[in-house]
Chain A
Amino acid sequence: AQSVAQPEDQVNVAEGNPLTVKCTYSVSGNPYLFWYVQYPNRGLQFLLKYITGDNLVKGSYGFEAEFNKSQTSFHLKKPSALVSDSALYFCAVRVPSGYSTLTFGKGTMLLVSP
């Protein structure tokens, strides 16, 4: 069975400071890893994914994530946070196959203060 852990319910950061949202995963074999963001009353929006290759993945809105196989982590990062980044962030994992379920973590609320 595959699973995702997001250990922080909420992350607070001041605008302009770097941010990190943590994610660890458990899966048999090599994982495909995803980050989605959810704004109030809106669906999940795709940010970035890791499939293979370079461990540092760059995505939308200046976000990036680093895949660390030894630590089974895929932390989301941004060098300089914006107030508009405040939202709910979900990490997700699936195994490489023709069909596999995308399994989500419980989410981390990011609050960026002015």
Chain B
Amino acid sequence: GAGVSQSPRYKVAKRGQDVALRCDPISGHVSLFWYQQALGQGPEFLTYFQNEAQLDKSGLPSDRFFAERPEGSVSTLKIQRTQQEDSAVYLCASSLVDPSGANVLTFGAGSRLTVL
């Protein structure tokens, strides 16, 4: 596609519910990142995929957070037993692989999760 697509754009969940957030990256982008942006804060890294391999999940805040990218394209971020502190905008970004690290990340519009 022309850009990174995320769905749903808005999600309201009751505390304790499970949620799944979808990211459809730019076609051909090998790298995929998930970030969490709390209100009034900058994006914070959650996890990184290169193709289907999850190379870094050091930013996931707890074992309630799980991400997958089984076929190396679409990715899903799942949050189990949601808590109020999970309320945030979840941003997905994709990029080409660049060994130098100079590649630019293209971000989606985000999924805004509100946990009541």
Contact = CB atoms under 8 A, between A and B. Distances in A.
Contacts of B40: 106-107
A102 B105 contact: yes
B42 interface: yes
A98 B96 CA distance: 11
Contact of A96 (B97, B102, B104, B110): B102
Contacts of B55: 99
A32 B48 CA distance: 18
A110 to B, nearest CB: 15
A97 B39 CA distance: 30
A103 to B, nearest CB: 7
Given A104-B42, A106-B41, A106-B42, A43 B101 contact: no
Interface string A85-105: 000001000111111111111
Interface string B20-47: 0000000000010101000011111100
B48 A44 contact: no
A83 interface: no
Interface of B is mostly: loop
A44 B43 contact: yes
Interface of A is mostly: loop
B42 A90 contact: yes
Given A49-B104, A98-B100, A106-B41, 14 more contacts: A36-B107, A41-B109, A43-B107, A43-B108, A43-B110, A44-B107, A45-B107, A96-B100, A96-B102, A99-B55, A102-B105, A103-B45, A104-B44, A105-B42
29 contacts: A6-B42, A32-B102, A43-B110, A44-B43, A44-B91, A49-B102, A51-B102, A90-B42, A90-B43, A94-B101, A96-B100, A96-B101, A97-B101, A98-B99, A99-B31, A99-B50, A99-B56, A99-B101, A101-B48, A101-B56, A102-B33, A102-B45, A103-B45, A104-B42, A104-B43, A104-B44, A105-B42, A106-B41, A106-B42
Interface of B: 4, 31, 33, 35, 40-45, 48, 50, 55-56, 59, 91, 93, 97, 99-102, 104-110
